[in-house]
């Protein structure tokens, strides 16, 4: 399975979520290598830029090294290569669907997937094609932290992203 996580600049939220999801979905013993591939991109991706230092520090505190990350802009080819596209905001999902409308059945918001899992409405990603029209609307997004001035605000946002990534990891593993 190839999962693409999308935010705006691809330097804060989506790369942090990418590395957190990679860390939360290690290949199980006996499973084929590379069972889950996780990548990220941005709708206005700052191609070639490193990850925001605040996200790098957050990951480092989790024991994850994100220093090799390089941002990129989402495009049709990247989207079509993904089995699941996960946006951090509705605008990210909308942008991706404008580029690749055929991805409607496999493009969702991170918090949406996480809430469906936590509520028990969704226990596996394989259920999505059958349940997507019956699942409750989830309106919450993970706000863009670029303008955050307080370190606590940034950390709280990434804590919320990390919590939702753990729920997504549980969906991926079933």
Model pLDDT for residues 129-161, shown as the tens digit of each residue: 888 888 888 888 998 888 888 899 999 999 999
- Give mean pLDDT, residues 62-89: 97
What CA–CA distance (Å, rounded) separates 69 from 148? 22
CATH number at residue 107: 3.40.50.2300
- What pLDDT is attached to residue 86? 98
76 Cβ contact partners less than 8 Å away, ≥ 6 residues apart: 99, 100
Which residue(s) pair with 41 in the sheet? 6
- What pLDDT is attached to residue 30? 52
Number of domains, the chain:
1
pLDDT band at 16 (very low <50, low <70, confident <90, very high): very high
- What pLDDT is attached to residue 32? 53
The three-class DSSP label of residue 2 is: strand
Nearest alpha-carbon partner for 13 in 91, 76, 101: 91
- Give mean pLDDT, residues 46-67: 96
Choose between 129 and 77: higher pLDDT. Answer: 77
- Give mean pLDDT, residues 119-128: 92
Percent of the chain with pLDDT over 70: 95
Q: Residue 98: give the domain boundaries.
A: 2-173
- What pLDDT is attached to residue 131? 85
* Confidence check: pLDDT of 28 > 70: no
What CA–CA distance (Å, rounded) separates 81 from 44? 19
Percent of the chain with pLDDT over 90: 77
174 Cβ contact partners less than 8 Å away, ≥ 6 residues apart: 123, 124, 125, 126
Nearest alpha-carbon partner for 4 in 28, 26, 30, 37: 37
The three-class DSSP label of residue 111 is: helix
pTM of the model: 0.93
- Give mean pLDDT, residues 60-88: 97
């Amino acid at each position: 399975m190839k999962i693409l996580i999308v935010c705006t600049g691809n330097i804060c939220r989506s790369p942090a979520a990418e590395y957190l999801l990679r860390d939360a979905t290690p290949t199980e013993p006996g499973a084929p290598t590379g069972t889950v591939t996780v990548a990220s991109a941005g709708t206005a991706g700052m191609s070639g830029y490193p990850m925001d230092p605040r996200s790098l520090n957050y990951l480092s505190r989790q024991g994850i090294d994100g220093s090799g990350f390089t941002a990129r802009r989402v495009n049709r080819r990247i989207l079509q290569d993904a089995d699941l596209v996960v946006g951090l905001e509705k605008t990210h999902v909308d942008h991706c669907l404008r580029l690749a409308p055929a991805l409607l059945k496999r493009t969702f918001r991170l918090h949406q997937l996480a809430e469906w899992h936590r509520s028990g409405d969704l226990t596996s990603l394989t259920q999505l094609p059958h349940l997507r029209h019956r699942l409750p609307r989830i309106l919450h997004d993970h706000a863009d932290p670029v303008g955050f001035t307080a370190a606590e605000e940034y950390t709280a946002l990434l804590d919320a992203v990390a919590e939702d990534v753990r729920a997504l990891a549980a969906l991926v593993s079933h």
